[in-house]
Chains A and B, each alone.
Chain A
């Protein structure tokens, strides 16, 4: 099993910024493993590779924003977190979009993955609120159906969903999973 040499990262990035390709390769190979583990804890399995690649591209494109007086680990952690939050934001929006039936078949895997992310987020908010969002956004019930099922008013359902989604976005933004 390949070991990560996190203690070398600061040296490798500084050498990479100076154009040293060998150090850069060592750094990226280490990062690939580290990022795989980072995202595996946070997103569905099918989404890990995409996020690893997106983060490696971001590391490459934005490496000039790394401040050499600080730890590279903190920098790359922040970049990975940013990419992960972007993904969650996109997925929260994704489950809010109603799919037509043809698209639904094609996108079934993606939809399931997105729902997995949202379900992880839902565990962070009060159960009552999470249950209502789950009915409307994951089980795709109408407001009327959700109101009938829960015995609550339609306006209460609407308000709860609206407030809950705002809270979910805030949680995603803070990375509070």
Chain B
């Protein structure tokens, strides 16, 4: 059978390695390690790290961010191919745990003080470092993932893929910065950590339009 298009495609065939999921995991891990190393070496571990560990703060704060990053990574990888979809139940379960943690912290705070007072008197002292580190680190991770992974993807939902990658980038940077930050107020956590993370999600969603194929 003579078909010029098939002839052309066959002539253009070169050996190619299929995308491997471990490569995306490695990119995320390396990004997290690089930002964590920068935060710890430049700003130092939080002074009360041992105390924060024993009181469970590290579990809900760093752990919560890492858990969400895990969900975002799974979604990013699954959305990158046309024939795979993220395991929604797993992701919903992780997000439910995260919301549960935030709800638990709010209830805990409500037992000690007025929530209205707390929300209107948040100490934003560390935000001047926290937000730039999350944004800078997130851009670094997002740019790397974009160049080495997203560019090669073929998603049926490119905007959702961009959003998942954006959230992943913000979450990894926030998790890394949490090694230094000792601002454990839940409203600080929501405003200073989650607003930039959500911003990355929106940025990724908008950038996702460029991933059309």
A interface residues (Cβ-Cβ under 8 A, vs B): 2, 16-19, 21, 24-25, 28-29, 32, 53, 56-58, 60-68, 70, 74-75, 77-79, 81-82, 85
Which B residues lie within 8 Å of A2 (CB)?
Answer: 1
Let me know if B17 is at the binding interface, CB within 8 A.
yes
The answer to the question of B139 belonging to the interface, with a C-beta cut-off of 8 Å to chain A, is no
For residue B88, CB closer than 8 A to chain A, the reply is: no
Given the known interface contacts A63-B16, A81-B156, the answer about A75 and B83 at a Cβ–Cβ threshold of 8 Å is yes
A82 CA to B156 CA in the complex, in Å?
6
Q: Which residues of the partner chain B approach A17 to less than 8 Å between Cβ atoms?
A: 15-18
Is the contact region of chain B dominated by helix, strand, or loop, or is it mixed? loop
* Contact yes or no, A58 B213, CB < 8 A: yes
B152 touches A64 (CB 8 A): yes
Task: Find A62's partner among B1, B14, B84, B213 (CB 8 Å cutoff).
Answer: B213
Chain A residue with Cβ nearest B153: A65
The interface residues of chain A lying within 8 Å CB-to-CB of B11 are 21
B15 touches A70 (CB 8 A): no
**Contact A79-B13, Cβ < 8 Å, known A62-B82, A67-B18, A67-B81:** no
For the complex, is B48 an interface residue (Cβ under 8 Å from A)?
no
Chain B residues 99 to 119 lying within 8 A of chain A, measured CB to CB, are: none
Q: Are B10 and A21 in contact (CB under 8 A)?
A: yes
Tell me whether B9 and A24 are in contact (CB under 8 A).
Answer: yes
Complex Cα spacing A16 to B6, Å: 13
Give chain B nearest CB distance to A74 CB in angstroms: 5
Contact residues in A for B10 (Cβ distance below 8 Å): 21, 24-25, 28
Instruction: Give, as a whole number of angstroms, the nearest-CB distance from A64 to chain B.
Output: 5
- CB A149 to nearest CB in B, in angstroms, measures 38
CA distance A46 to B82 in the complex (A): 26
Give Cα distance in the complex from A78 to B152, angstroms.
16
Asked if B26 is at the interface of the complex by the 8 Å CB criterion, the answer is no
Nearest Cβ on chain A to B10's Cβ, whole angstroms? 5
B9 and A28 form a contact (CB under 8 A): yes
Kindly provide the distance from the CB of B152 to the nearest chain A CB, expressed in whole angstroms.
6
